[in-house]
Amino acid sequence: MYKSGKIKRMAAFGTACVLSAVFLFGCGETKEEDEATEEQTIIDVSVQTPEVKNISTSANFSATVVAESEVKVIPLVGGEVVEKNFEVGDHVNAGDLLFKIDDEAYQIALKQAEATVTTAQAGLTTAQATLNQSEANANTTRAQAIQNVGEIPYNEQKKNYGVDSAYVDKRKSNNALKDAEDNVDLAKHNLNDYKDARDAAESAMKTAKAAYEAAPEEPADVKEELKEAYELAKKTYETADSKVDSAENAYDSAKRAADNAEMSYALNGEAYSLAQMERDNYNTYSKATTIYGAYASAVGADTSVTTSKAGVTSSAASVKSAKAGLESAQLNLDHTSVEAPVSGTITAIDVSLHNMASTQSAAYTIQSDEPCKVVFYVAEETARNILPGSEAIVTKNGVDYDAKITSVYDTIDNSTGLFKVEASVTGQGSSDLIAGSSVSIKTITRRADNVITVPIDSVYYEGDMPFVYVEEAGKAKKVYVTTGLSDDRSIEIADGIKASDKVVVTWNGSLRDGSELNTAGSSGGMEPVNTTETEESMESAGIDSSAGAGDIE
């Protein structure tokens, strides 16, 4: 632990003073005379009560700047690249046109979708006219319905059966919808699992690659093993990435199946409502025709009207579907112009003019302008004392940047055997920090809150046993203490004294246990003791100041 040079020099100086006194006054003086002289001496000292405060120590670590986010720009439609902008290293803003894909085929698809909308709208107009005609015919049919009175019991049973069948169909479609939704959830869960597996594989691949590239001087067999580990990790990542694509397709298929099941459920619900309506109409009107003789045909007329309404509903759905196709075609056309999704620096380009752009691979890679993070590694004990949220200072080429500890990992990093710590650069100018560059970071590694402290120079050592002098009834009392954390001015006293004790903070070579003290002029609170003159005197006397009070283990 920290060794206080000042305290060492003070103790050595005290030793020298005692030796000087022996030589100056001669060895012939008796022990009784020395004790009498010592008893008669009153020593002027300053005393202060300990200060209760927070104390901490900081340390510097070597670190690496890591980009907070890297965006892969993958085109949503494929085709020939007819325009390409920017190069690797260029800075782009969100919305800048990166490249353009030939849109001729997408223009044609858009026109076809527009024609489909027009046709669907014409069908809806025809269905509405049919509905109007059905309603007119129903009025004529009711006048001729008397002959159907005898069919009332049969028709009533038929209507009930239709309701029951429609209800069964509705229940089946409801169950099918739930199954489809469960399949969507399962497919989404599987997709997330595959993505997690891919991310883990990618991290392992990067770690293996870094280990391989960082060992150029290793023996050939070791380097070959690292290479094989990297190639295996790469293949594992590629397999995981392929599984993600398959899982995404399965997820999309499940969603489409759920949409179809939902539409089927809606149609069966309408059919069930229609069957109920038919039965209700029959019970309301056909039974009355037993008396009036004209209501059986009215049910058929109403059925025709309802069917026409269903035709209108179906035509309206066709119009809606056609408009969705039009929106999709317009969206595909828009996607032929690929823009930067974020502001940042281009780090890789994988498309070229007049070659084909694929929807399966990244065309541009952009390192985002978002604040960088700094990664460093520490030993287990240090990791336990670094707290997320602590302030930190990142230094690069003599320039300091404000930062904050964001994560302290609780597992050992396999590549380093240490614990990983991450910090986020929060100050201005963080954009000057380039991903992959080396920096240093300083942060608090140990702390003690609300502890009793004394000036570090007021602690003496007897071998490995620390002690202080406290003033009691005008005399010095030697008190052994247990020390703790220290900084460049203060040291924690974990045991031995109380906050109300008066600690001697003035060094004096004649100070002993039981010495009479003059404490006039002492202040109440702890302040650093000025030992500059004492140190200068020690150095001018040629005394070794490498040991003494204040050393901390």
Residue 465 · residue 480 · CB < 8 Å: yes
Give residue 27's pLDDT.
42
> Taking the domain 104-334, which CATH number applies?
1.10.287.620
Q: Which residue, among 345, 290, 278, has the nearest Cα to 71 in the 3D structure?
A: 345
Q: Which residue, among 518, 497, 396, 510, has the nearest Cα to 451 in the 3D structure?
A: 497
Give residue 71's pLDDT.
85
Give residue 302's pLDDT.
85
Residue 236 · residue 205 · CB < 8 Å: yes
Q: Are strands 482-486 and 419-425 parallel, antiparallel or unpaired?
A: unpaired
User: What does the domain layout of the chain look like in residue ranges?
Assistant: 5-56+449-540, 62-68+369-447, 70-94+342-367, 104-334
Distance between CA atoms of residues 308 and 314, nearest Å: 10
Give residue 41's pLDDT.
83
Give residue 38's pLDDT.
46
SS3 for 129?
helix
Characterise 473 by phi-psi region: left (phi > 0), alpha (psi -120 to 50), beta (else).
left
| Three state DSSP letters for 445-496 | EEEEEEEEEEEHHHCEEECCEEEEEEEECCEEEEEECEEEEECCCEEEEEEC
| Three state DSSP letters for 349-395 | ECCCCCCEECCCCCCEEEEECCCCEEEEEECHHHHHHCCCCCEEEEE
Same fold, 5-56+449-540 and 62-68+369-447: no
> Taking the domain 62-68+369-447, which CATH number applies?
2.40.30.170
Identity of residue 264: S
Mean pLDDT by groups of 10 residues along the chain of 553 residues: 39 39 41 48 90 89 82 92 93 93 93 94 93 86 70 81 90 90 91 91 89 79 85 91 92 91 90 89 76 68 88 92 93 93 88 92 84 88 89 91 91 92 79 80 89 91 93 93 89 92 87 89 49 36 33 31
Q: Which residue, among 366, 354, 364, has the nearest Cα to 83 in the 3D structure?
A: 354
Q: Is the dihedral of CA 318, 324, 327, 331 positive or negative?
A: negative
DSSP state of 148: G
Which residue is associated with the tokens 């044609």?
Answer: 108
Residue 456 · residue 7 · CB < 8 Å: yes
Q: Is the pTM of this model over 0.75?
A: no
Q: Which residues of 56-73 are buried (b: 16+ CB within 10 A; e: fewer)?
A: ebeeebebebebeeebeb
- Structure tokens, 344: 């940042």
> Taking the domain 5-56+449-540, which CATH number applies?
2.40.420.20
